[in-house]
Amino acid sequence: LAYVDDDYFTDTTFHRVIPNFMIQGGGITADMSDKPSKHAPIQNEANNGLKNDRGTLAMARTNDPHSATSQFFINHKNNDFLNFKSESMQGWGYAVFGKVTEGMDIVDDMAAVKTGNKGGHQDVPLETITITGVKKQ
């Protein structure tokens, strides 16, 4: 949550939308540039007992299970295959750290946008979805 404290997410975008799967954001700007990470990657905490259920927020990462920095995704449906299974390269899963508590209708609207290719990325919303701010509760 250090990124929230740093106001890092302001003016980043939800840059990847796959309906009935997830909506990803938190590290790409509107011109599809990577926003440099401010902190070292975190240890994967997917073994915390939380599941990748509809409306939960989880850390995005590379194939390295301990590579998450600023990017996250909202699960648009229950994604059991992303859950922790074991402390192995294939078993770590994706760490859930939050949940949408109101506004799932907005998440559903985001999941319904038209997407295409842009800046070397796939599944990019044709109309930019900008993050204007993030706060802890």
In a domain, 137, yes or no: no
Phi, psi of 66 (to 5 degrees): -115, 40
The b/e string for 84-102 (b: 16+ C-beta within 10 A; e otherwise) is beeeeeeebbbbbbeeeee
pLDDT above 90 (res 52)? yes
Structurally, the chain folds into a number of domains equal to 1
Give the mean pLDDT of 21-44: 96
Q: What percent of the chain has pLDDT over 70?
A: 100
pLDDT tens digits, one per residue of 67-121: 999 999 999 999 999 999 999 999 999 999 999 999 999 999 999 999 999 999 9
pLDDT tier for residue 136 given thresholds of 50, 70 and 90: confident
Global confidence as pTM: 0.95
Structural domain of 61: 2-131
12 within domain boundaries: yes
- What CATH number should be reported for the domain holding residue 121? 2.40.100.10
Residue 117: what pLDDT? 97
Average pLDDT, the chain: 96
Cβ(59)–Cβ(95) below 8 Å: yes
